[in-house]
Chains A and B, each alone.
Chain A
Amino acid sequence: GAVVSQHPSRVICKSGTSVKIECRSLDFQATTMFWYRQFPKQSLMLMATSNEGSKATYEQGVEKDKFLINHASLTLSTLTVTSAHPEDSSFYICSAQEPGRPGYFGPGTRLTVL
């Protein structure tokens, strides 16, 4: 089956710093990447959709200047949480998709902002 990786798996940072999360499709070309956020004991909420080579489309209520998404290649997308604050602490999960097929989730990144 398709393999999607995320790095790091968990990160702890100080308030005000920026954190970059990588999502890679290892055995297929992901023309579309989706970024979801999941707070403890809650559901997954879509943050943004990115197509390779294009600007990401953000969902309502998600600050594009705070959550920077780059999808520079067909196998890599990055999410940068800028000036992170404790309320940004969450489980961030990417989903990588090739055309005409459902997306495959990465293993997630647990972000804790102190």
Chain B
Amino acid sequence: GENVEQHPSTLSVQEGDSAVIKCTYSDSASNYFPWYKQELGKRPQLIIDIRSNVGEKKDQRIAVTLNKTAKHFSLHITETQPEDSAVYFCAASVGGTSYGKLTFGQGTILTVHP
């Protein structure tokens, strides 16, 4: 089955700096790669996603890049703010009707210091 590795496990940055989280996946059939932000005790919140026919996608301060050949994808957060502090998870799945069967990475605890 699919295996998703995520790094780093913790990331500490100063407000205004950029943060980058990286994930690799094992199943070449995976073609849907979402990123979630989860605050303590709450549900994961989808912040951005990318399909394998696209190399990069951006939404304001957040961007995701995908290298299908190398089987890795990354989350980039620019101009970080304290409210960006949370746990971030990458995930992968085979798309189509199976969007939701996600394999998650281990998570990254992001701390943004004011």
> Residues of A with Cβ closer than 8 Å to B?
32, 34, 42-46, 49, 60, 91, 93, 95, 97, 99-103, 105-108, 110
Contacts and interface: CB of A to CB of B under 8 A. Distances in A.
Contacts of B102: 34, 44, 46, 95, 103
Nearest to A57: B101
B54 interface: no
B100 A106 contact: no
Contact of B99 (A46, A91, A93, A101): A101
B60 interface: no
A93 B43 contact: yes
Main secondary structure, interface of B, reads loop
Contact of B105 (A43, A97, A100): A43
Sorting the interface of chain B by its residue count into under 10, 10 to 19, 20 to 34 or 35 or more gives 20 to 34
Contact of A100 (B43, B97, B104): B97
A93 B45 CA distance: 12
Given A107-B42, A107-B43, A108-B43, A46 B106 contact: no
Nearest to A102: B99
A44 B34 CA distance: 14
A34 B107 CA distance: 20
